[in-house]
Copies of this chain bind each other. A is one copy, B any other.
Amino acid sequence: VFDKDTVVVDTSATDSATLLETLISVLNKGGAITMANKKILTGTMENYDRIVAASGVHRLRHESSVGAGTPVCATLLRLLWSGDNVRFIQGAMSGTLGYISSELQKKLPFSEIVRKAKELGYTEPDPRDDLSGMDVARKALILSRMVGIRAEMSDINVVPLYPSKFASLTIEEFMNALPELDDNMAKQVEEADSQGKVLRFVASIDVANKKIEVGFKSVDKTSALGMLSGSDNMVTFETDIYSPNPLVLRGYGAGAEVTAAGCIGDIVELSSMRKN
A contacts, CB < 8 Å to B? 56-59, 63, 69-71, 74-75, 78-79, 81-84, 224, 227, 230, 232, 241-242, 245-252, 257-258, 260-262, 264-265, 268-269, 272-274, 276
Contacts and interface: CB of A to CB of B under 8 A. Distances in A.
Q: How many copies altogether?
A: 2
Contacts of A245: 230, 232, 251-252
Contacts of A249: 248-250
17 contacts: A57-B272, A71-B74, A71-B75, A74-B74, A75-B75, A78-B265, A82-B261, A84-B261, A241-B252, A241-B257, A241-B258, A245-B251, A246-B251, A248-B251, A250-B250, A273-B273, A273-B276
Contact of A82 (B69, B246, B251): B69
Nearest to A246: B251
Contacts of A232: 245
Contacts of A79: 261, 265
B264 A82 contact: yes
A82, A242, A246, A268: which has the most chain B beta carbons within 10 Å? A82
Given A227-B227, A241-B257, A272-B57, A74 B69 contact: no
Contacts of A251: 242, 245-248
Contacts of A250: 224, 247-250
Contacts of A230: 245
Contact of A247 (B59, B70, B268, B274): B70
Contacts of A264: 81-83
Contacts of A227: 227
A258 B241 CA distance: 6
